[in-house]
Structure 1
Amino acid sequence: MSDKLLEVKNLTVTLDSNQKLLNDISFYLKHHQCLGIVGESGSGKSLTCKAIIGLLEPYFSVQGKILFSPQNANIQLPENSDLLKQTRETLRFIRGNVISIILQHPMSAFDPLYRIGKQIVETLLAHHSISKSEAITKALNMMADIGLNDPKQVYNKYPHQLSGGMLQRIMIGIALMLEPELIIADESTTALDSISQFHILKMFEQIKQQSKTAMIFISHDLGVIHHIADHIIVMNQGKIVEQGSCEHIFYHSENNYTQYLINARKQLLTKFNTVIQPNTLTSTSETI
């Protein structure tokens, strides 16, 4: 059996038959690996993943191959099946049972008219053959496992009553309950405050260390990518300009655009440390 869970070959996405948004994208993801995709806004990161999971609107034209080789025996697909050739029903089944998606804006992922607990339970019942009482128990246990205080109270709240960080944790918890082989996290820390970002990143680190789930982690933040990814793809204007191991990209990159991103982050950190250090010293002196 191949060690590749996902292999994208010559993926090209065109809008209205004349404007290329993605141009000849090729990469692969191994089982249990974390792949980081980095680039500025508009580089094609999210578009690539939407093409993979079949969420592009009909007015996009997609060419190439997206070969998917799940190990789950319940998935009735031949090895290396091309996702671009699957029916909508098959893709919907794959998205719910083998591939989970964690979106950038957690508030938009939940229906504002229904309580959080009801939505979690309905998701579980749609993808697992369990009773409603078992689903409720799983939902409460999940909320406790992800560090939410008083799960029963959270269960009965509406989405607008919870913070973005709490909703993002619940999205990750739901994804893990479905036991996918691949989690796609699309800018999942971008819309959160620093403290929430820290907790969410810790959750992803635990997923990487403790589960057998592979991940595609999309971000424009090189610091986050450096922290979580094994292999990194750098995208610019719909193309992959460089890819390689985390060490290669950060310390031995050859592409000018990659070096520009890395140097820009270094300058930002240097400026931040210059500003924060005097304040830290003043604060320390006052404490002493």
Structure 2
Amino acid sequence: MADGEMLPFVASAVNKSRLLLRNSSREEAIAFLEQWQSGQRISSAVVYEMARLAGTREVDSGRYRDLITEAIQDDVPETLDSALWLASQCRARGDSGRQLYFLMNALRIAPQSARVLYQLGEYYEECHDLDNAARFYLRAFCIERDLTRLYSLVNVLCMLDRASEAARICQEMYLEEKNSEVADHWAKCLIAMGAHDEAVHVLREHVKSESEERGFTLMELGRILCHVGRFEEAAKTYQEVLESESSPYVRKYAMSGLAYIALAQGNESEAASMLNKVLLNLNS
């Protein structure tokens, strides 16, 4: 068996199930695979195909619990999809040892897959092994700059006191695409470095160039200004949000920010008044 390839008789079974799915029905395709697997040594590729056809709800209800357990205990995964799927099943069962086994098999099958490398980074982050988490996240990021994974990468690097490295990555991404989320992460890195003025500058400049998500950037700017104790500027920022934004969520956040500022400055009655307005908005 070559890496990432099914044995011929396994591939034949999977292909036949897909023909049945196309020409007959999903139920016939599942029934064929169930009958085939009952007479063969466990095949993760076939079990994965059955689970995929049956759907998440059926799998979660325990339909293939015994087969999945057998695959977790005994099988060497034949395909990238089956390896990652079994890793996810191990994660759901709290079996981190076998989860890593299947993730490493996925890496063996596809050593340049950003998808696999990101999942390994996530695994090590959950295990609080931040050095390995950063290593795999960075390897993945070099292959595919996935914006949805940027928070994890930035968070891990900052916890390792590598905020300047994280800031450089964010700056490079921002130059490629002036995205609000990237700007927010970049500012957080700068705050972690103690470069408060630079963080504020990044967000102010982004507000000037952004129209669609301007309110969310202003909220982050207000939060950072509060974080560094620049309450007057933060209050003006939140007031700007209230004057220019119609989104209930954004307005609620801005009013909560104003309440926080009032409380930080010792004005409890004003803070209570602002929070009452937040509650009224939530109720309506």
Question: Rg larger in 1 or in 2?
Answer: 2
Structure with the bigger percentage of strand: 1
Larger RCO (CA under 8 A, 6+ residues apart): 1
TM-score scaled by length of structure 2: 0.27
TM-score scaled by length of structure 1: 0.26
